[in-house]
Structure 1
Amino acid sequence: MWELYVLKSFLEITVYIVKLISVATLIIGLLSYLKDILIAIFTKNYKEIKKVKNKLGGIVLLGLEILIIADIVETIINPTFKDIGLLAAIVAIRTAISYFLNKEIESSEESIKR
């Protein structure tokens, strides 16, 4: 029985670490974005501004995907129907956001190439 407790504790710590990784990814990405966007604005390089915005979109996508991993592991720890339904809703919303954000990035990259 204690093995189950140890495994659950390990998974809870893992979820916490994965969420921290997601937040760290977003914060580091934001700082990188701010640096790059300020340089692009001051040099008036409009193509670079679009590239930097796309880079931020990619970072947001990565952060969302990492959070989905944390949510899946968290639901494995506490598999109630309420939690599974909540996970399904969260994953659906994050997947929709990821899909449309990815489409926006692809569209923007096409306009940069022209």
Structure 2
Amino acid sequence: MDHVESSPPDDTEVELTPQDLHRLLAGPSDVLLLDVRDLWEYHIVHLAGAKLIPLHELPARLHELEAHRPTVVYCHHGLRSYDAACFLRDAGFPHVKSLEGGIDRWSAEIDPTLPRY
């Protein structure tokens, strides 16, 4: 998914690149970072301010999320987060995106100080 640098990401797209998220976080934003990995993965590395709800717990913990708050879901490589984003959209969360490539790609392209596993 390529975007013109001045264009905001299209809300119909499910995935968001690390570069798009970096730009989003650089400005004023109320975006929720939702980590759907397991607790042991979260302890290795996570994005600052992220809320942890492991993917298998997500259906039972929907009440913890705000349906209209912009949310970016991430995992290790982007597969679980894509599933979570699609699930959340189907559950009435229209402003949810999945971080393409997960925290591993974020570490490689945006913040190489974060540990990779």
TM over 0.5: no
Give the greater-gyration-radius structure (CA): 1
TM-score between both structures, scaled by the size of structure 1: 0.20
From the two aligned structures, give the one with the greater strand fraction: 2
TM-score by length of 2: 0.19
